[in-house]
Amino acid sequence: MKQDNDLANCAEEFDIAANQFRNGVFKLLDEAQTITVFRELTPAQQIESFVAGILAGVVATCFGCTTDKSPGSREHIMEYLDECLESARGVVEDAEIEIAERKKSETK
């Protein structure tokens, strides 16, 4: 998986921080590929175990970072994560379209 290390493309501090975290996730997957038990899983199981582990870590970290331990606070975090998943899909799909268009124009 290719990492985007070009921070010059990030317009704001938020984008820079998000880019660093995204690159960290890519590194985790690269490291997982070196673990025998992970490599022995089917491709579908690899994706499922990776996503389950990453998301559980994200949720646990978010819950741990808040001083408000009320159920409403946790529900707010989960709602935000739902929004983030939709947004992440859009960002990735837009990037895929942009890359495909760039490749198409380069072959002309």
Do 17 and 60 lie in one domain? The reply is yes
Do 72 and 61 lie in one domain? The reply is no
Residue 2 counted as domain residue: no
| The pLDDT value given to residue 29 | 93
* Residue numbers of the domain that contains 86: 68-108
17/35 Cα distance (integer angstroms): 28
Do 25 and 58 lie in one domain? The reply is yes
The count of structural domains within the chain is: 2
Residue 1 counted as domain residue: no
Do 17 and 57 lie in one domain? The reply is yes
Do 73 and 54 lie in one domain? The reply is no
The letter for the amino acid at 107 is T
**Residue 18 in contact with residue 47, Cβ under 8 Å?**
no
Do 61 and 84 lie in one domain? The reply is no
Using CA atoms, how far residue 12 sits from 9, 26, 96, 98, 100, in Å, is: 9, 21, 22, 20, 25
Residue 37 counted as domain residue: yes
Token output for 15: 């984008």
| The pLDDT value given to residue 9 | 56
Do 102 and 73 lie in one domain? The reply is yes
Give the pLDDT confidence of 46-99 residue by residue, as tens digits: 999 999 999 999 999 998 888 877 778 889 999 999 999 999 899 889 889 988
